[in-house]
Amino acid sequence: MRALVYTAPDCVEYREVPDPHPQPDQALVRVEATGICGSDLAGYHGKSTRRRPPLILGHEVVGRVANAITGSGLPIGQRVVVNPLQSCGFCYGCLRGRENQCSNWRLLGMDDEQGGFADLVVVDKRCLTPIPETLRISDAAMVEPLANTVHVFDMLKDYPPERLLIIGGGTQGALALMLAKSIAIPQVWVTEASSARRESARALGADTVIDGVPELVLDAVRETWPGGADAVLEAVGTAATRDLAVRAVRNGGTVVLLGLHDQRSDADFSSIVRKEVTLRGSFAYTRSDFAASLHLLVSGAISATPYVRELPLLDGPSAFARLSDAPDAVLKILLVP
């Protein structure tokens, strides 16, 4: 089969590789499309310790069942979306329905799990969810990214914010904006460094969009929201944006950290303590989050189709380079075998 293989930092190659062969508890999926995630870009740049060459990246997979799977009820040819987070099912987190907290989790396109930038991919048979033929590929490929956002809002449900600041207008920030507007959060602001993505945020209904310069953001927040935002979603992951999140939230507010750009960064823990800030990390999603994400997309409550672009897998090297060099209004690039 043909695949896009990560061979060295800043290098992916389109090449011929052996077909994968599923074990009895695995499914073989013929890929229709796989989205490029920010974590794939981190791996591409050599910043992920769990993505080492040679490796097929990619975990946002839509495809069709290509083998007979005993006990699954899914026929060959069934269209599916893949939940790439493969959990063990028996640890503390799994037994409590928190598969994202699994002690033994594995992800497609990481460690020794070959990913979806290929004609075929092997996954645990439990990770397949059937999807309707009518669901556009651009929406089907957003089930996994949107599930991350659903998980964030599940964290905020006990104290729903009236004033939400989203730091970062990339894929996760834009999806969070869409979801926030769909559940009628009164005030949703987005801060973003890219002018093209600021325009996207305005088109998606952000109440206020601000350049990503921290002092500009803080001045605007303090002028309009005395005391700060009720909640801040940090969807970038740099030291500067994490610090901004803590400074922009009100006393007793919540900061949810989603971005993973920098592995380590300093924090003003004195402010966190004195303001009684709730600081929460958000990783991936549960099975129920994944199901909720699919429902939102199938129902049409959320659609990112205007901001999704499909490219042939052959163009994968240029797509990775483009996303790295100049982020624009496109929120997701799908690679299609």
Q: Which amino acid is at 12?
A: V
Residues 26 and 82: beta-carbon distance below 8 Å: no
Place of tokens 């990112």: 304
For β-strands 187-192 and 26-35, DSSP reports them as unpaired
pLDDT classification of 331: cutoffs 50, 70, 90: confident
pLDDT for residue 232: 98
Residues 301 and 168: beta-carbon distance below 8 Å: no
CA angle 86, 131, 146 (to 5 degrees): 60
* Measured distance CA(255)–CA(200) in Å, rounded: 24
Dump pLDDT digits (tens) for 193-210.
999 999 999 999 999 999
What is the CATH architecture assignment of 2-142+304-336?
Alpha-Beta Complex (3.90)
Domain 146-281: CATH superfamily, name plus number? NAD(P)-binding Rossmann-like Domain (3.40.50.720)
What is the domain partition of the chain in residue ranges?
2-142+304-336, 146-281
Residue 110: DSSP 8-state? B
Cα dist. 81→29, 48, 137, 198 in Å? 10, 25, 10, 30
Residue 214's H or E segment, with its range, is: helix 214-224
Dump pLDDT digits (tens) for 128-183.
999 999 999 999 999 999 999 999 999 999 889 999 999 999 999 999 999 999 99
pTM over cut 0.85: yes
pLDDT classification of 28: cutoffs 50, 70, 90: very high
Residue 188's H or E segment, with its range, is: strand 187-192
pLDDT for residue 327: 66
pLDDT for residue 173: 95
